[in-house]
Structure formats: C-alpha cells, structure tokens
Structure 1
Amino acid sequence: MTTENIRTYDVIVIGAGPVGENVADRTTAAGLSTVLVESELAGGECSYWACEPSKALLRPVLLRADAMHVPGLDPGVKNPLDVEAVLAHRNRMSTDWNDEGQVEWIKSAGIDLLRGHGRLAGEREVSVETPAGDTVRLRARHAVAVCTGSRADLPPLPEIENLRPWTSREATSAQQPPRHLVIVGAGVVGVEMATAWQALGSRVTLFARGDRLLPRLEPFAGELVTERLREAGADVRFGIAVVGAERVDDGEVRVTPSDGGEITADEILFATGRAPRAEDIGLDTVGLKPGDWLAADDSLTVTAVPGDWLYAVCDVNRRDLFTHQRKYQARIAGAVIACRARGERLDTGRWAPHSGTADIEAVPGVVFTDPEVASVGLTVSQAERTGRAVGVVDYEIGHLAGAVQYRPDYRGRARILIDRDRQVVVGAAFVGPGVGELLYSATVAITGEVPVERLWHAVPAFPTISEVWLRLLETRRDS
C-alpha cells in the first residue's frame, strides 16, 4: 500500500555521492536544512565502483612495476602478484560495498538522508519512491540540486541486454580475474583496467576504434602506454570496432571484430563512454527532455529552467567527469545556493567563490597506468582548434637524476604549452612513473597565470622529478 506525506526543506539534493554530499555539507554549514535522496549506496560511484576500487587494484600493480626496476630489492618482487590479497585490499577500500560509514558521516553533519528513487515533480518539488513502496513528497524553499552522475554508455549492438557485458562497475568489483578479457575502448577506463587485469593474470585484448590510446591527450601519452601494455603481454589493436558479441551456453563471450574473424573470451568490457543518469528523474515536469545532459552555467544553475532554483552538479552537466572537479563544482554550488538564500548578490568575477571557471581554465587529471599520465590545461590540438598561439616545450624526464633514482630505466616525457602573447603556461602533460605528483604545481602555474619568467624563481629540489620544471624552462630559453 502506498502512502504519501510532504516534507519541506531549504535544499533538496538528489544523489548522495561525493558531489551531493559536498553540496549538502556546504548548504547545511550555511544554516540551510538539507536532505539527500539516494537510491543506491551513500558515497556514490566513486567510493564503490570507480576511483577507490580502481586505484586499489592499480596501486599494487604500479608499485611492483617500479620495484622490479630498483637495484637491490628482493627478487621476489618479480613474482606474480598475490591476486587474493590485492582483491581483498580492493574490497576493504570499497568497504565491502557497505555504506554504514557514509551514512554515519551524513548524520553527524546534520544532513537528513532519504532512501529511494527521487524524481522532480515540478518547481522546487521532488517525489521519492522509497524501498518500502511509499511515496514521499519533498518541497524546497530555495533549491534542488541534481547530482545523479552518469552511467556507462553501451554501444547499440544487437541483443546486448543478453550479453551481460562488463561496464566499469563490473571491472572494478569482480572477485576473480577472467582468463581472457576483451576491452572495447581506448580511454581512461579501458587502459586502466587493461593495466590492472593484465597484471592480475588475465589475458587482455584491447580494441581501439581510432589510431591511438588516450586520444584526448597528447599523442606521446598513448604511445608510451601502448608500448608498456604490449611489453606486459596485452594485445592492443587499433582501427578496429566490435560489430558483434554473444554469450554462449558455456558462459563464454564470442566477439566479432570489424577486421573479421572471431575471438572467444570470458568477459567483455565496454569502456566506450558515459551517459547522464537523467532518463528517469522527472525532467519533463520542468520542461526538460528526459535523458539529456543538463546545461549549467558557471554558478552550476540549470540555464533552461527559469527562477534560479535548479542546479546540475557533477557528471550530469557534462562540464567535466573527474571526481575532484565535480567536488569543486559542489563547493561552488553550495556557496551559490547559500548566497541566494540570504538574498545576496553573487560575486561573479573570474575567480570568484561563486564561479566554476576551473572547469574551463585548468582541469587536472591522472591516468593510473604504467607509465602514469598526468595532464592539465590545453593540449596542442586544442590550442590549434581555438586559434591560440602557443610555444611547445618538451623534455625527456629520464634525463633527470631524480628520475634515474626513481627507476634506472625511467622512460617518460614532459610538455608545457606557453601562450606566446601572455607568456604564461596554458597546458602541461607528463608521462612516466610517479608524475601524478607533478600535477598540482602545473595546475597552480596555469590557474595562477604565473609569468614564465617568475617560474625561474620557483626552485625545485634536487634530485627529484620536479626538477623537470627547471629543464623545461632551460629548453625554452635555448630553443
């Protein structure tokens, strides 16, 4: 039997992942009563099926790869990984897919949590279907924030629903390595999962539709990752799509690639993109098309809905798909909601606390492969498309004393892009073991618009990989 009651809050947040939690934390801290609505696990995709479990799988893989090249270490590091121990570590990092800890934090922050599927039901209204079958009506005095994220976007293959393919969720939560894993997709998910499962004992075949891995990054990033994957035993093929796949009676998957033939595997992972989780959240009740991305401005306000009450934060707005960037958006949205609730005017300057410009100016990202890939700001191709005049400076990281200390056979490259008119760094890319730790300095240089001549006075310690900054500046001077 369905019952209905009405509850009123200052702010309603649909989605209790890290983004929704951050929005709710900011609005609650500002004195606004806030409720989180969640249909799955509090903590969201990042905690259970993305960032945390994937990095828990990859950390032992990458540490072992480094250790194998350091003189004097026990030869035992060259032995295969203890798969059971790695998967147990991954399970712990995912809290065994139990959200009690997250729920406790939500309560301690003074935020209400309502379990169930939330849908918009008109202006400032949300309808929640609870697991018990009840319907709870919520009304917001000030704001509703949609933080529902994204889901894997599967290709339109015939009868794909019967295939039971892996998406990123299955790839990060599997309890044993498949003997043979086919991966379709050349982006971050595809290459990270190829790195992890190849090292954990799977035979990996990766199909890339284009001519390189990591196509949105500088070409040398994909080249170095491809080289290492092939050295590790992965079969990486370019210019190939999957045109058919079926699950047969014995549970195996028969895969038909576009270049002919057939491959039999235990599992197939489609890492072919993301789609908004917006098909069943009541968008039609506020004049929007179900399933669409929600366009939001720099204050994270949905531009197509009048009244400045509806916000789209995280993947669903398509501004960026990194967790750290989405949490940045959450802080902006929380500040905007609190400001408007107090009747104050927004400070909308370029670097104002109410303006999410970092989504455009400098988005940092790390791909946790062997070698690691770190990038922020523009690539050369992006600069060319926008007509930006830039100087490109490259340096082989393996020439650094700090890199050789890290791994005697260190292979890696650094690149910075310098705006010729303003003489500031507008893009940076690093490939090599441990380069993720270089990324924050690059992000500060870009967002702070630090003049290149001033960077000479930011002295890197010797012998560290960060000395690459000095070498890049010297290379620019000598070119």
Structure 2
Amino acid sequence: MTETESIAYDVVVLGAGPVGENVADRTRAAGLSTAVVESELVGGECSYWACMPSKALLRPVIARADARRVPGLRQAVQGPLDAAAVLAHRDYFTSDWKDDGQVGWLEGIGAVLYRGHGRLAGPRTVTVTGPDGERHVLTARHAVAVCTGTSALLPGLPGIADVEPWTSREATSAHAVPGRLVVVGGGVVATEMATAWQALGSQVTLLVRGAGLLARMEPFAGELVAAALTEAGADVRTGTSVKSVTRENGTVVVVTDTGDRIEADEILFATGRAPRTEDIGLDTIGLEPGSWLPVDDTLRVTGNDWLYAVGDVNHRALLTHQGKYQARIAGAAIAARAAGTPLDTSAWGAHSATADHGAVPQVVFTDPEAAAVGLSLAEAEATGRRVRAVDVDISSAAGAGLYGDGYRGRARMVVDLDRETLLGVTLVGPGVGELIHSATVAVAAEVPVARLWHAVPSYPTISEVWLRLLEAYRG
C-alpha cells in the first residue's frame, strides 16, 4: 500500500451522489477548494439504482395506462409493453452504469475527485483507500460533509443471504423480467416496483405487514394504489409477514405467518433503509458506527463545529430532492462560516433547512400517482392544532375528464383553522405528480386560504381541483 502526504482542502465531501455533488457545487461556487470521495459511481444511488432507472421503468407503464383512458387511442395500445425496449431505455438513463458524464461535470466545477473508500481518521481528517491500494490523507480546513446516503435494509430471516434476494438495486437494474415476483413491503419502493414489473409481465404478489400501502400518506392514497394494483393483476396481501424464505432448485419459496406457501422466481425486499455510516470512521470522533447523524438546521452534526451530515444520512427526509435542498443550505452555511460572515438561521433563512420540518413533498409514481406535501390529517392533529381536512373527488375538476375517461382520484387539504393556512395537501390520481409543486408553494409560503381564492386555476385543467377544494372549505 502506498501513501501520499496529507493534502489540505477547505472542504472534503464523502459521497458523490446528488447530495455530495450539490455540496461541492455550492462550496466551489463560494471559492472554497473541495475534494469529493466516492467508492462507487459518481452520481450515486439516485442516478443508477433509484430515481432515474425506476422512473425510466415506470414512464411507459404510466403512459400506456393514460393512453388507455383516452377514446380513439385506447385500442392502439392494448398490446403488451416491449420489455426489451423498456429495459434498454432504462439503461440509457443510467448511462449503462458508466459515470464519465458525471465525472466530467464534477471536474468542470473544479472539485477534485478521489476514487476509493473514505474514512474519518479523527477531526477534519479523511483517509482514502483507492482501488489499487493507494492511500491518500485529506485534511479539511473548514468542513467535512458526510453524504454517504443509505442502503437497503434486509430482515433478519435465517438463510436470507442464500436466497440472493432483490433489493431496490436489483429491482431497478435487472435485465430480465421474472415470471413471478414476490415484493415484500408496502412503501414507495414496493409499490413502484410492483407497478413496473407487473406491467412488464411479471405475476406480482405484494406482501404487506401493515394494514395498507403507503402508510406515511393519507390512508386513501394506499387504498387507491392497492385497488389499481389488484385490477392490474397483482395479488396484494395486507397484514401478512414473511416467516421464512428459501431458494429450492432456483425457485424462491416463501412461507407467510398465515401459513401460505408462495413460489416465485425472484423476491424483492423493500423493507427499509439503513445509514451508510458503518465503516466511515465515526468511532474516531466519538460517534457510533452505523448510526444516523443528528444535525441542526444548518446540517451541522450535533456537538461538532466542522462535521456536516447532508441527505438521507441524517434521517430527516429520505428523498433526493430534499437532500439536494439540504446540500444547498449546507454549502451556503459552510461558505458563510469559512468567510466569517453572519448566518441567517431564522425560519426560511438562507442557512436554515426549514422546509424539512413541514413542507416536504413526495411523489409516488404508481398508477394512480400519489403525491403529498406537509402534514397528513393525523400528523396535524397530533400537533395539537385546530385543523380541518377538506376532501374532494378530483374528477370534479373539468380537466380530469379530458385527461382520461373514468378518471379516479382524490384530493385533501389540511387547514390550520386558527391561521387559515395549509398544513398539508395530498393528491392521488393520474398526472398529479405535476400538480404537487403548487401545493408545496402554498404550504411552504403559508399562503392564506383567502389569498389562494385569488390564485385562479387555468381552465380546463386538473389544477381546477384547487377551486373545488376552496369551495368545499368555504361551504
């Protein structure tokens, strides 16, 4: 093993996914020298095994479903999807799992890339062990930002490793359609991958431990998605846990807690995420390896004046767009502290990740899509506020019927009755993913309901659902 002498940078970033890239972009824009360490592909989980490949798989599924709702087009799209073409299109969006373009972008902003495994080696120090055994020691004058994200969490079932189960990575990168697929879980990954692979030709069995799907959203979101999956041919079983799983002569055999035996070609466990902090040297600075890293609103790790944790690793919101938002905040905070200028950490200030606390948007790209921002009714009631939920059928919007025959969807806004502002909005239905940003603006900006009355939706669009919601609230 060879080792270079210590090299000093203003900032060292662990992880070159979208979050790490954005921290580097902001610190470089402020004139700080920045090193980025990555052990896999530059671009991270989102680019190669999550957001981009999953949405590439889902896009033709959703487009076909939408087309089948339109008279005159329905008959033209009755055949099966071309699975090979869909998978090839997915490969295009992952750049065939090559990161040349992302490396070029990182180098273009002036960041220095170190390939290899990065570990903290005490305060402000990172060692990097490269693929050929070479070792670099990097020191940070101002900040180390941990942007290592999360990995799939598998349950502790005996012999599970011998089954070679799918996680989100295999589910988004598989090159063949399994004839039978068991999906374990009821969250975003489970529902999106069940939607995609069922449409591509798999017979999907979805095993959900809880009472319904998408438990973190309003109950009606999971109900509508479950109904659609069932209509598409999936076998959705709620209140069901996996007791054992084995692979016998290539066939996966699942036994549930109800005694059912299910055979499949592959099994996907979408049962949670764990922080990728188990081997990054946290013990050298008095922190627990493998733990989530608690942070303040500038994304600085509690008890440290130089260590930042940005994105999934801090467990505030496990979403790429929220991690990139945090990265912009963290980069600005690091730059301000380096320059010795005051920070604006007030609510909605330039150095405060305020949106993490009540204005987090999310879209689940199933059919129908489910989108939400802010608090659900149950979450809002738990805060002790006086609240009211207003529900409307999205088909009441003139644009819904034009979007497709038999449009099924539901919208809810949760109103703070004392302040008359929105605490949360949930939309479920075809095409609602493109509507959620208007709700995000209303929630984040705390727009009064009286002012929203004057935000006129264009006719005839599905956005007219806003008018229906406000009319229902006014009574």
Matched, 1:371 2:368: yes
Q: Which residue in the other structure is 2:193 paired with? A: 193
- Secondary structure in structure 2 of the residue aligned to 1:414: strand
Q: Which residue in the other structure is 2:441 paired with? A: 444
- Secondary structure in structure 2 of the residue aligned to 1:40: coil
Q: Which residue in the other structure is 2:407 paired with? A: 410
The 5 Å alignment of 1:89-168 reads: 89-168=89-168
AA aligned opposite 2:209: R
Q: Give the Cα–Cα distance (whole angstroms) in 1 for the partners of residues 160 and 71 of structure 2.
A: 49
Q: Which residue in the other structure is 1:258 paired with? A: 257
AA aligned opposite 2:13: V
Q: Bigger shift: 52-61 or 392-401?
A: 392-401
Matched, 1:467 2:464: yes
- Secondary structure in structure 2 of the residue aligned to 1:311: strand
Pick the aligned partner of 2:421 from 417, 421, 424. 424
Q: Which residue in the other structure is 1:354 paired with? A: 351
- Secondary structure in structure 2 of the residue aligned to 1:80: coil
Q: Is the 8 A contact 1:5 1:135 kept in 2?
A: no
Q: How far is 1:244 from its partner?
A: 0.6
Q: Which residue in the other structure is 1:63 paired with? A: 63
Gaps of at least 5 residues in structure 2 are none
The 5 Å alignment of 1:381-400 reads: 381-400=378-397
Q: How far is 1:142 from its partner?
A: 0.5
Q: Give the Cα–Cα distance (whole angstroms) in 2 for the partners of residues 261 and 236 of structure 1.
A: 14
Q: Which residue in the other structure is 1:215 paired with? A: 215
Q: Give the Cα–Cα distance (whole angstroms) in 2 for the partners of residues 112 and 266 of structure 1.
A: 44
- Superposed CA offset, 1:219-266 (max 9, x none): 110110011000000000011100110122x22111111110311111
Q: How far is 1:477 from its partner?
A: 1.1
Pick the aligned partner of 1:326 from 314, 323, 346. 323
Matched, 1:267 2:256: no
Task: Please report the TM-score for the alignment, with normalisation by the length of structure 2.
Answer: 0.99
Matched, 1:76 2:76: yes
Q: Give the Cα–Cα distance (whole angstroms) in 2 for the partners of residues 461 and 124 of structure 1.
A: 53
Q: Which residue in the other structure is 2:452 paired with? A: 455
Matched, 1:342 2:339: yes
Q: Which residue in the other structure is 1:276 paired with? A: 275
Q: How far is 1:382 from its partner?
A: 0.5
- Secondary structure in structure 2 of the residue aligned to 1:64: helix
- Secondary structure in structure 2 of the residue aligned to 1:5: coil
- Superposed CA offset, 1:277-303 (max 9, x none): 000000000100000000011000000
AA aligned opposite 1:19: V
Q: Give the Cα–Cα distance (whole angstroms) in 1 for the partners of residues 68 and 30 of structure 2.
A: 51
- Secondary structure in structure 2 of the residue aligned to 1:181: strand
Q: How far is 1:76 from its partner?
A: 2.8
Q: How far is 1:4 from its partner?
A: 3.7
Q: Give the Cα–Cα distance (whole angstroms) in 2 for the partners of residues 297 and 220 of structure 1.
A: 34
Q: Give the Cα–Cα distance (whole angstroms) in 2 for the partners of residues 5 and 38 of structure 1.
A: 20
AA aligned opposite 1:451: P
Q: Give the Cα–Cα distance (whole angstroms) in 2 for the partners of residues 55 and 295 of structure 1.
A: 30
Q: Which residue in the other structure is 1:229 paired with? A: 229
AA aligned opposite 2:423: V
Q: Give the Cα–Cα distance (whole angstroms) in 2 for the partners of residues 446 and 106 of structure 1.
A: 34
Q: Give the Cα–Cα distance (whole angstroms) in 2 for the partners of residues 320 and 368 of structure 1.
A: 18
Q: Bigger shift: 33-42 or 444-453?
A: 444-453
The 5 Å alignment of 1:5-84 reads: 5-73=5-73, 75-84=75-84
Q: Give the Cα–Cα distance (whole angstroms) in 1 for the partners of residues 422 and 340 of structure 2.
A: 38
AA aligned opposite 1:281: I
- Secondary structure in structure 2 of the residue aligned to 1:142: strand
- Superposed CA offset, 1:351-406 (max 9, x none): 11100010112000000000000100010110122212111100001122200000
Q: Give the Cα–Cα distance (whole angstroms) in 1 for the partners of residues 443 and 66 of structure 2.
A: 30
Q: Give the Cα–Cα distance (whole angstroms) in 2 for the partners of residues 120 and 370 of structure 1.
A: 44
Q: Is the 8 A contact 1:225 1:371 kept in 2?
A: yes
Q: State how many pairs are aligned.
A: 475
Q: How far is 1:74 from its partner?
A: 5.9
- Superposed CA offset, 1:164-194 (max 9, x none): 1100000000001100000000000000000
Q: Give the Cα–Cα distance (whole angstroms) in 1 for the partners of residues 463 and 296 of structure 2.
A: 36
| Identity percentage of aligned residues | 65
Q: Is the 8 A contact 2:279 2:289 kept in 1?
A: yes
Q: Give the Cα–Cα distance (whole angstroms) in 2 for the partners of residues 421 and 144 of structure 1.
A: 43
Q: Give the Cα–Cα distance (whole angstroms) in 2 for the partners of residues 160 and 84 of structure 1.
A: 30
Q: Give the Cα–Cα distance (whole angstroms) in 2 for the partners of residues 362 and 18 of structure 1.
A: 20
- Superposed CA offset, 1:263-282 (max 9, x none): 11111100001000000000
Q: Which residue in the other structure is 2:313 paired with? A: 316
Gaps of at least 5 residues in structure 1 are none
AA aligned opposite 1:238: T
- Secondary structure in structure 1 of the residue aligned to 2:435: helix
AA aligned opposite 2:357: I
Please list every run of at least 4 consecutive aligned residues from structure 1 whose deviation after the TM superposition is greater than 2 angstroms. Answer: 1-5
AA aligned opposite 2:246: E
Q: Give the Cα–Cα distance (whole angstroms) in 1 for the partners of residues 293 and 425 of structure 2.
A: 29
- Superposed CA offset, 1:75-133 (max 9, x none): 23011001011000000001100000000101111111000000000010001110010
Q: Is the 8 A contact 1:295 1:304 kept in 2?
A: no
What value does the CA root-mean-square deviation take over the aligned residues? Answer: 0.8
AA aligned opposite 1:109: I
Q: Is the 8 A contact 1:378 1:428 kept in 2?
A: yes
Q: Give the Cα–Cα distance (whole angstroms) in 1 for the partners of residues 191 and 303 of structure 2.
A: 36
- Secondary structure in structure 2 of the residue aligned to 1:280: coil
Q: Bigger shift: 433-442 or 379-388?
A: 379-388
- Superposed CA offset, 1:121-170 (max 9, x none): 00100011100101110001110000000000110101222121100000
Q: Is the 8 A contact 2:332 2:351 kept in 1?
A: yes
Q: Which residue in the other structure is 2:430 paired with? A: 433
Q: Is the 8 A contact 1:15 1:148 kept in 2?
A: yes
